[in-house]
């Protein structure tokens, strides 16, 4: 009984190859070598004259493009650094200018406040002087009227105590005489 796995895979022993595979035929070796040499030379000429110069041109073009791109990148980097430094300088100048403006504004406001304070102080000094003058006048008037009131009071007291009717002139003379003794 035949093995079901290997059934139909056997090669008959009596079946032989009637022809040899043409590339392996010993009779065809020399024409194959000639065609090989001819094909090799044609391929070499084609590659060395057409393909390789084009590849070389592409490589040179890429090298040149890379050099140009690197040069442009360096130029742009320099321009960027220059722009950055000018920006930083402009920023520093703007800060200095802002500081100067703030200082000038502060000085101006301080001067205005001082001027206003001086005006208010002068106004208060005038009011105080006017008030002192008014107080002095009122005091002088009060002192003058105190003399009159004192005279009237003395007249009333002397009249009540001694039953003497003294006049204002009598009291003024008595006070002047008493003030003259001092």
Which residues of the chain register pLDDT less than 70? Answer: 1-18, 180-182
Q: What is the pLDDT of residue 8?
A: 62
State pLDDT tens for residues 91-117.
999 999 999 999 999 999 999 999 999
Quote the DSSP letter at residue 47: I
Q: What is the pLDDT of residue 86?
A: 95
Q: What are the sequence ranges of the domains in the chain?
A: 28-181
**End-to-end CA separation in angstroms for the chain:** 178
Cα(16)–Cα(8) distance, integer angstroms = 18
State pLDDT tens for residues 133-152.
999 998 888 887 877 777 77
- Residue 13 has φ and ψ, to the nearest 5°, of -75, -30
Cα(80)–Cα(73) distance, integer angstroms = 10
Which run of H or E residues covers position 71?
helix 52-162
Q: What is the pLDDT of residue 182?
A: 47
Cα of 42 vs its chain's centroid, Å: 73
Using N-to-C axis directions, what is the helix angle for 52-162 and 168-181, rounded to 10°? Answer: 110
């Amino acid at each position: 009984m035949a093995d079901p796995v290997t059934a139909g895979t056997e090669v008959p022993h009596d079946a032989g190859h009637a022809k040899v595979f043409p590339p392996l035929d010993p009779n065809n070796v020399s024409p194959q070598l000639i065609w090989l040499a001819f094909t090799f030379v044609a391929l070499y000429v084609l590659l060395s004259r057409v393909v390789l110069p084009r590849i070389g041109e592409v490589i040179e073009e890429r090298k040149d493009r890379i050099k140009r791109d690197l040069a442009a990148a360096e130029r742009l980097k320099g321009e960027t650094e220059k722009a950055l430094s000018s920006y930083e300088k402009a920023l520093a100048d703007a800060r200095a200018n802002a500081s100067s403006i703030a200082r000038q504004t502060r000085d101006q406001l301080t001067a205005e406040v001082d001027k206003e304070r001086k005006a208010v102080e002068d106004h208060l000094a005038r009011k105080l002087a006017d008030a002192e003058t008014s107080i002095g006048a009122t005091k002088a008037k009060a002192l003058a009227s105190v003399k009159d009131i004192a005279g009237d009071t003395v007249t009333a007291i002397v009249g009540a105590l001694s039953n003497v009717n003294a006049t204002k002139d009598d009291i003024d003379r008595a006070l002047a005489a008493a003030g003259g003794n001092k």
